[in-house]
């Protein structure tokens, strides 16, 4: 990609540039980790990772579905400026500056393993490689990430086929493939050159299926099991809770194995590991987040712009730089990852992004800048958008029909679950946020909003 950088802020690199591993789960809820309140099952390795570093309590995904969320992650742009604002046949435009390109400029090896962040519903592994990643192993079409036993995976542009896989059953489980590949990639690294790896797991997104070994471990933790019938896209799941817990255990074990591998190679102290989710818990194939309390106190889930759809767990561990056992309520979002990488690697921050580095929150050094606002929009279900300023949040639904457009106001400081609409009680605050939200987005041709694009 051709890139143009504006040296708005050139920060001094740290004495040693950290390795960076960004682990992103798919449709994992805010309370799906025991360190975030999950009581139905445990995630010991992720809890240990949180205890070794910092836990963010107000971290937000880039959007409430996969593709736009990951576009924000890759480009540092929020939902009002990102090129991709919905799922579909949309790949990252060539002119966009990606976080991987920034890492390459800083002298990093770069890899993406798992479900691609930049290719949309296309079979184009070359797009991943042209986005700054020197190594790729995974799927590119979003649909392929829905099947736990994929028929093929790309290694760079080579198609690796799995004859024993039949999408919903088979011999090679996708999570195990990605974990093995990630461990192999780390094993090839040394202290001479840092690396950035985006490890993009396609679970606990449906299909809700775990291998039998994981199911055996999960079943004793389940009470009142339920089943899901087969849908047009997803297979029947007779043991939904056990399968979900099994997937979460595999994800948790994968993180534990990665930490162990880094320790064995002497890389752990100087590696920043971030774990998060691309949006809130799903309702795919009839699954319901309340089955295992995936969202805790939050309202809604995937495709909502209430907190349940966009507030996600975020854990960061970096033993040589982050004080262990800390938490922060600094409001941060996916679009902050790119400028954080810029600051940690001494690279100039691209122009026209909305992200703000959270390096100060990680290290406890320097003053943490804060966002004047956080903004999201969603182009399904009648078009939705939301803006947050401090504890105040405005949520609007049905923007495709101005006569039915809603405007709800919440005080997150007192009402995290968004149970009390304060729009009538605080009309002046509602007017203030309505004026602001009218100014914070740029139209984009692929995602028109006739009532706003004037």
Domains and CATH numbers, the chain: 19-363 (3.40.720.10), 381-437 (3.30.1120.10)
- Residue 164 to residue 410: CA distance in whole angstroms: 51
- Residue 419 to residue 428: CA distance in whole angstroms: 20
pLDDT in tens, 378-432: 999 999 999 999 999 999 999 999 999 999 999 999 999 999 999 999 999 999 9
Q: CA triplet 356, 361, 364: central angle to 5 degrees?
A: 135
Residue 64 near residue 426, CB atoms below 8 Å: no
- Residue 413 to residue 392: CA distance in whole angstroms: 8
For the segment 258-271, the average pLDDT, to the nearest whole number, is 97
12 — pLDDT class (breaks 50, 70, 90)? very low
Q: Which residues pair with 154 in a beta bridge?
A: 138, 159
- Residue 285 to residue 208: CA distance in whole angstroms: 9
The DSSP annotation for 38-81 comes to --SS--HHHHHHHHTSEEEEEEE-SSSSHHHHHHHHHHS--TTT
pLDDT for 13 equals 40
Helix (H) or strand (E) holding 254: helix 240-264
- Residue 43 to residue 313: CA distance in whole angstroms: 13
pLDDT for 190 equals 87
- Residue 214 to residue 252: CA distance in whole angstroms: 12
14 — pLDDT class (breaks 50, 70, 90)? very low
Residue 273 near residue 263, CB atoms below 8 Å: no
**pTM across the whole model:** 0.95
User: Residue 5 above 70 pLDDT?
Assistant: no
Token pair for 233: 């896209």
For the segment 209-236, the average pLDDT, to the nearest whole number, is 93
Q: CA triplet 39, 43, 45: central angle to 5 degrees?
A: 150
């Amino acid at each position: 990609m051709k890139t143009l950088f504006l040296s708005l802020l050139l920060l001094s690199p740290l004495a040693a540039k950290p390795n960076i591993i960004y682990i992103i789960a798919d449709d994992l809820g805010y309370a799906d980790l025991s360190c975030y309140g999950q009581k139905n099952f445990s995630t010991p390795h992720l809890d240990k990772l949180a205890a070794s570093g910092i836990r963010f309590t107000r971290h937000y995904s880039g959007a409430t579905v996969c593709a736009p969320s990951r576009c924000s992650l890759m480009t540092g742009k929020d939902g009002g400026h990102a090129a991709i604002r919905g799922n579909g046949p949309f790949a990252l435009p060539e002119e966009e500056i990606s976080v991987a390109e920034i890492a390459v400029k800083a002298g990093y090896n770069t890899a993406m393993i798992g479900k691609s962040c930049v290719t949309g519903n296309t079979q184009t592994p070359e797009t991943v490689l042209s986005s700054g990643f020197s190594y790729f192993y995974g799927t590119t079409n979003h649909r392929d990430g829905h099947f736990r036993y994929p028929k093929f995976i790309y290694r760079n542009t080579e198609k690796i086929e799995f004859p024993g896989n039949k999408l919903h059953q088979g011999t090679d489980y996708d999570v195990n493939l990605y974990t093995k590949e990630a461990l192999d990639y780390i094993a090839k690294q040394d202290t001479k050159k840092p690396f950035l790896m985006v490890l993009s797991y396609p679970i606990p997104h449906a299909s809700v299926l775990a291998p039998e070994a994981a199911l055996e471990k999960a079943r004793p933790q389940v009470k009142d099991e339920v089943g899901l019938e087969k849908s047009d896209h997803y297979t029947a799941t007779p043991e939904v809770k056990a399968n979900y817990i099994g997937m979460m255990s595999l994800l948790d074990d994968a993180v534990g194995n990665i930490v162990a591998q880094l320790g064995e190679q002497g890389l752990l102290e100087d590696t920043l590991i971030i774990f998060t989710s691309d949006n809130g818990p799903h309702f795919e194939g009839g699954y319901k987040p309340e089955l295992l309390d995936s969202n805790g106190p939050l309202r809604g889930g995937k495709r909502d712009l209430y907190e349940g759809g966009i507030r996600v767990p975020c854990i960061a561990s970096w033993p040589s730089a982050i004080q262990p056992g800390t938490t922060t309520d600094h409001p941060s979002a996916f679009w902050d990852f790119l400028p954080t990488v810029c600051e940690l690697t001494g690279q100039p921050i691209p122009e026209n992004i909305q992200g703000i580095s959270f390096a100060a929150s990680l290290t406890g050094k320097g003053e943490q800048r804060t966002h004047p606002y956080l903004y999201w929009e969603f182009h399904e279900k009648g078009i939705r958008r939301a803006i947050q300023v401090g504890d105040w949040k405005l949520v609007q639904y049905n923007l495709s029909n101005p006569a039915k457009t809603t405007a709800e106001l919440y005080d997150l400081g007192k009402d995290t679950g968004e149970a009390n609409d304060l729009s009538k009680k605080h009309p002046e605050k509602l007017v203030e946020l309505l004026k602001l939200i009218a100014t914070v987005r740029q139209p984009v041709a692929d995602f028109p909003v006739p009532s706003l694009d004037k």
